[in-house]
């Protein structure tokens, strides 16, 4: 990706993405897929059954090791340690923005553990947008699948909050951290 395209993509991430999107009071009752039916593997290649999160809130974050937002790993690890019994934090490495997650699964796992002590669930590296978008991100970003949302990640460290019933309820842009008042209001 040339420098101009990278810069324009970054500007779009900052200015073109709503900071927070909320599930409307009424949504499409015809959503065709359940969050709990999606198939995905952990960084170690073992299958992760998303139905294990029934009855618990889940926060999905597309992560990258070479991004200006990468220090958020520490924030989300601290949040996981304090609230992991009620809200599962799940990191999903992606290389869609500026090639900022070039590593293999083994390299990503090592980086996260060595630099941030990450113990929250990390999934396999996937594409979060485009023609090769993983089914998890198809569900998160396609109204016909999740019932209301069409917001794709605009950059690394975008967050999607799923409630205890497996419904997508919020989108948070990259800059939102656990101590942000808008995030805190949702998890109370």
**172, β-bridge pairs:** 20, 159
The residue annotated as part of the active site, out of 40, 42, 67, 187, is: 67
| Torsion angles phi and psi, residue 33, rounded to 5 | -130, 145
User: What is the CA 122 to chain-centroid distance, rounded?
Assistant: 11
Interatomic CA distance for residues 133 and 121, integer angstroms? 20
Is 24:54 a contact under the CB 8 Å cutoff?
A: no
Q: Answer yes or no: 112 catalytic.
A: no
Q: What tokens appear for 119 in the block?
A: 């113990």
User: What is the CA 88 to chain-centroid distance, rounded?
Assistant: 12
Q: What is the dihedral of CA 175, 176, 180, 183, to 10 degrees?
A: 170
Catalytic residues: 67
């Amino acid at each position: 990706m040339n420098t101009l395209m990278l810069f324009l993509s970054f500007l779009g991430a900052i200015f073109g993405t709503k900071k927070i999107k909320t599930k409307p009071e009424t949504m499409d009752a015809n959503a065709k897929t359940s969050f709990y039916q999606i198939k995905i593997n952990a960084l170690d290649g073992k299958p992760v059954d998303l139905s294990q999160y029934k009855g618990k809130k889940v926060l999905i974050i597309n992560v990258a090791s070479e991004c200006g937002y990468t220090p958020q790993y520490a924030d989300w690890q601290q949040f996981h340690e304090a609230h992991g019994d009620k809200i599962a934090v799940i990191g999903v490495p992606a290389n869609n923005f500026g090639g900022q997650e070039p590593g293999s699964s083994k390299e990503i796992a090592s980086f996260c553990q060595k630099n941030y002590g990450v113990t929250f669930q990390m999934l396999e590296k996937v594409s979060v947008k485009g023609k090769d978008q993983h089914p998890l991100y198809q569900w998160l970003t396609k109204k016909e699948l999740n019932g209301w949302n069409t917001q794709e990640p605009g950059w690394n460290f975008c967050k999607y909050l799923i409630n205890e019933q497996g419904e997508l309820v919020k989108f948070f842009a990259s800059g939102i951290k656990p101590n942000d008042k808008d995030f805190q209001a949702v998890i109370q």
